[in-house]
């Protein structure tokens, strides 16, 4: 297989945007073309990660429309929908297109427009990814998160404020991300006293509803050297699926898709958890940061909260900085863009373009989760050597 490089990346402002999804996608796509120095006419494959443009806007065919707007015709186009892990699935598809030799220049753009809907309407669209039996009884992803958090805290004797520390950390990191939705620090008291959403989880344990887009440019490593000396290489990537019905899982605190995709990515890259210098995890809910840390081998089962309490995941002082971008918690969660934006942060860390968020890193990992662990993609990237 070809060694696949990332030579450019972009991310729009996340938050409440006036633009519709096609405009957001075009904004990120044009910025990525400029960042990578690639002419639109040289793009051979164009992938668009998007969960629900039809449900949110009544807009379909967005991949073809984007090719037109970017002047990337006649590039092959495809829309990638894998619920809230659509961005990670897009990375996997884009990587496959280059690794297989089918494309020498692949542009991936992820995006979603959500904030024009009410919270109830947006939640209903997202909840449609649950099993029909669960959905018709009113089960939503926040309720799964609350149930899991309660079980985790009681089973592993974890203090409630350990979850608040995740929110505090990620909000602090988001202050230094100019494209983050929330650039405001919070303290533990604020997090712990915010309104209950799904007991024991409160408002600050949840990510916001977000508009935004992000993009990556991928090509073979030998082509990358024609454009730049500063690039990253995807050395490991894998995806996995867990049970659609959450209560059928043997252990609700183990996300099987995270475990399986992580093991596959580690095996492909020849690396181990201790080799990772920086990670972006899917903190749609604070409890998910714990579960992914454990599923990816950064902590033993039931021990992630202790590492967070010890400051292990802090950006400036921790051994493994997690969610230097602010995570979904602070940066925002435009469904189709989130997995791509995770990889944008890792890319910028590896090429030294993360500004005040910069940490010392040669190897980075991102984990994008669909639903409540229903489908997962884990990607490992290394700085060019």
Q: Which of 197, 231, 265 marks a domain boundary?
A: 231
Mean of the pLDDT values across residues 37-55?
97
Shared-domain flag, residues 11 and 91 = yes
With both helix axes pointing from N to C terminus, report the angle between 286-295 and 256-269 in degrees, rounded to the nearest 10.
Answer: 50
d(CA 376, CA 371): 9
Q: Specify the CATH number for the domain of residue 216.
A: 3.40.47.10
Closest CA to 15 of 351, 383, 375, 326: 326
Shared-domain flag, residues 156 and 287 = yes
338-356 pLDDT, tens digit each? 999 999 999 999 999 999 9
286-342 pLDDT, tens digit each? 999 999 999 999 999 999 999 999 999 999 999 999 999 999 999 999 999 999 999
Q: Which of 231, 266, 293 marks a domain boundary?
A: 231
Instruction: Find the domain containing 114 and state its range.
Output: 4-118+210-231
Q: What is the pLDDT of residue 199?
A: 95
Number of domains making up the chain: 2
Mean of the pLDDT values across residues 227-246?
95
Strands 232-241 and 4-11: antiparallel
Q: What is the pLDDT of residue 135?
A: 81
Q: What is the pLDDT of residue 334?
A: 98
* Count of residues in the chain: 385
Q: DSSP label at 322?
A: B
Does 133 score more than 90 pLDDT?
no
Shared-domain flag, residues 335 and 218 = no
Q: Give the confidence band of 34 by pLDDT, cuts at 50, 70, 90.
A: very high
Does 247 score more than 90 pLDDT?
no
Q: Give the confidence band of 134 by pLDDT, cuts at 50, 70, 90.
A: confident
Shared-domain flag, residues 203 and 345 = yes
Q: Which of 171, 196, 231 marks a domain boundary?
A: 231
Q: Give the confidence band of 185 by pLDDT, cuts at 50, 70, 90.
A: very high
Which backbone phi and psi does 129 adopt, to 5 degrees?
A: -80, -10
Does 131 score more than 90 pLDDT?
no
Shared-domain flag, residues 262 and 354 = yes
Shared-domain flag, residues 89 and 219 = yes
Shared-domain flag, residues 220 and 243 = no
Does 136 score more than 90 pLDDT?
no
- Contact indicator for 181, 306 with CB cutoff of 8 Å: no
Q: What is the pLDDT of residue 30?
A: 98
Shared-domain flag, residues 50 and 80 = yes
- At 93, which helix (H) or strand (E)? helix 86-99
Which backbone phi and psi does 370 adopt, to 5 degrees?
A: -100, 135
Shared-domain flag, residues 203 and 217 = no
Closest CA to 210 of 127, 297, 110, 290: 110
Shared-domain flag, residues 281 and 359 = yes
Shared-domain flag, residues 214 and 204 = no
Lowest mean pLDDT among 6-15, 58-67, 130-139, 298-307: 130-139
Shared-domain flag, residues 199 and 142 = yes
Q: What is the pLDDT of residue 93?
A: 98
Residue 248 vs residue 356, higher pLDDT: 356
Q: What is the pLDDT of residue 364?
A: 98
List beta partners, residue 241: 375
Does 80 score more than 90 pLDDT?
yes
Tell the burial category of 248 from Cβ atoms under 10 Å away from its Cβ (0-12, 13-18, 19+).
Answer: exposed
Q: What is the pLDDT of residue 263?
A: 98
Which residue is it, tokens 């979850």?
Answer: 163
- Contact indicator for 317, 323 with CB cutoff of 8 Å: no
Mean pLDDT of the chain: 96
Does 127 score more than 90 pLDDT?
no
96-111 pLDDT, tens digit each? 999 999 999 999 999 9
């Amino acid at each position: 297989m070809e060694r696949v490089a990332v030579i450019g990346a972009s991310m729009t402002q996340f938050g409440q945007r006036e633009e519709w999804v096609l405009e957001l996608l075009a904004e990120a796509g044009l910025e990525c073309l400029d960042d990578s120095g690639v002419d639109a006419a040289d793009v051979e494959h164009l992938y668009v990660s998007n969960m629900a443009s039809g449900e949110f806007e009544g807009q379909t065919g967005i991949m073809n429309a984007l090719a037109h707007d970017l002047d990337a015709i006649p590039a092959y186009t495809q829309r990638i929908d894998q619920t809230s892990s659509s961005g990670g699935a897009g990375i996997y598809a884009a990587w496959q297109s280059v690794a297989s030799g089918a494309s020498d220049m692949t542009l991936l753009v992820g995006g979603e427009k959500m904030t024009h809907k009410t919270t109830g309407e947006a939640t209903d669209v997202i909840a449609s990814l649950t099993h029909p039996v669960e959905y018709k009884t009113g089960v939503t992803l926040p309720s799964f998160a609350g149930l899991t958090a309660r079980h985790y805290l009681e089973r592993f004797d974890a203090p409630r404020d350990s979850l608040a520390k995740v929110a505090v950390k990620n909000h602090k990191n988001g202050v230094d991300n100019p494209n983050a939705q929330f650039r405001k620090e919070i303290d533990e008291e604020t997090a712990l006293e915010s309104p209950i959403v799904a007991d024991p989880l409160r408002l600050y344990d949840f990510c916001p509803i977000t508009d935004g887009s992000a993009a990556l440019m991928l090509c073979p490593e030998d082509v990358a050297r024609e454009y730049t000396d500063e690039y990253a290489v995807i050395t490991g990537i894998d995806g996995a699926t867990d049970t659609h019905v959450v209560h059928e899982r043997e252990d609700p605190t183990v996300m099987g898709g995270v475990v399986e995709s992580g093991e596959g990515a580690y095996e492909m890259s020849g690396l181990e958890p201790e080799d990772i210098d920086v990670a972006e995890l899917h903190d749609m809910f604070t409890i998910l940061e714990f579960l992914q840390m454990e599923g990816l081998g950064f902590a033993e089962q039931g021990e992630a909260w202790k590492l967070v309490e010890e400051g292990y995941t802090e950006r400036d002082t921790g051994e493994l900085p997690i969610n230097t971008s602010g995570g979904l918690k602070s940066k925002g969660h435009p469904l189709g863009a989130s997995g791509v934006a995770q990889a944008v942060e890792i890319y910028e860390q590896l090429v030294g373009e993360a500004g005040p968020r910069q940490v010392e890193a040669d190897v980075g990992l991102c984990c994008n989760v669909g639903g409540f662990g229903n489908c997962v993609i884990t990607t490992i990237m290394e700085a060019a050597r």
